[in-house]
Each structure stands twice: as C-alpha cells, then as structure tokens.
Amino acid sequence: MSNSYTTLWTNDLCRELGRSGYAGRRLTMLFGGPHQSLPSFHRAGVRPGDRIYPVRALATRLHVLGAMEVSRIIPYEDAGSVLHDDDYAKLLEWRPLKTGCVTEVVTGPPGSALTFGTTVPPDLLERLTYTSRRGERTLKYVDEGRLIRSVSLQGIYRLTSASAAELHRLVLDGSVSARRQGRS
C-alpha cells in the first residue's frame, strides 16, 4: 500500500521558482539531504509508489503546491551514472530545488503542475492529520483555521489516508482551475 507525505518548501524557494517561470511545470524530481532545510526522503520512509505533496506556509495559510509519485530514490552522487539522459536533463531543469547539501534524488513520472495558488481550506487545515509509529497527530499552532507557526510541518511527514485523499482532491481541483484560466 502506498503512502502520502508532505514536505515543506521555504517561501524563498517558492519565490525563486515563481520568478524563474516554474509555475505550471509538472513535477518530475525532488531532492533530499541530511538537514532540516532539505530533509531525507529515504530516512522519512518514502518508497516507490508513494506520493509527495510539497507545501508552503504563507501568511497564516497552508498552500499545497502539487503532487508527485515516487518512482525511485537514488543517491545524488550516483545520479550521473544511473539516470537516463532524459531524467538527467530533468535533474538540471529542477536545479533550483537543489538547495543545501543534497544526498538523494527522488524521480517520478510527471506529476501535477506546480502551482502557488492552491490554499488548504481552514476546516481541512484544522483536521489535517499525520501518522507515524507513535500514532496520529494534527498540526500544532493552528488557531481558528489559521496556521500561526509552521514548525510542525518542517520535515517530511506521512499523512493519514483520509488527509492524503483530501489534499489530492485539492491538487486535482487546482490543476483544473489553472487549465481553465489558461495557466497550465
């Protein structure tokens, strides 16, 4: 059975991606590392078949930026010899995601388009639930549907299946809305 995870992207990264024209590009690659600013997908338990949802915390709101299914996780040092030419080109294309000390590359088939306008509704934000070996938890620092602090999102965390389904619907709705408005 596959799992779904969120990973928090910084506002600086999101601004850079927006300025550089990445909005509308389909996610095909992510990067992980040993630090909190670029956490390890492998250490978080991510496996092929799992889905990753990059998220952003901005102005008391949580934005879901897209989704990508994981095909494989490879050591960054092996990327040049392991990736096919097309995938290696994608590695170069998604270079802005490569912040800090990169130790792993997550590849996948084209996921959803990267968007910056899909906001998690306040009611979903209050009930968004994560799961681990220790049990389930909702986000900390949520008050009346507003995200006061993003500390409980920093890292890579596994969603419950119900929360993953709701985020997936948001991503699908956001992609449809962007296509209707000509922003695919």
What gap in Å lies between CA 21 and CA 128, rounded to an integer? 30
182, 69 contact by CB (below 8 A) = no
Q: Which of 159, 162, 52, 170 is nearest to 111 (CA)?
A: 52
**What is the reported pLDDT for 49?**
97
**What is the reported pLDDT for 183?**
47
Residue-wise pLDDT tens for the chain (184 aa)? 799 999 999 999 999 999 999 999 999 999 999 887 789 999 999 999 999 999 999 999 999 999 999 999 999 888 888 888 777 777 777 877 777 688 999 999 999 999 999 999 999 999 999 998 899 999 999 999 999 999 999 999 999 999 999 999 999 886 555 554 454 4
**What is the reported pLDDT for 177?**
52
5, 160 contact by CB (below 8 A) = no
What gap in Å lies between CA 117 and CA 61, rounded to an integer? 11
3-state SS class at 143: strand
Structure tokens at 2: 């596959």
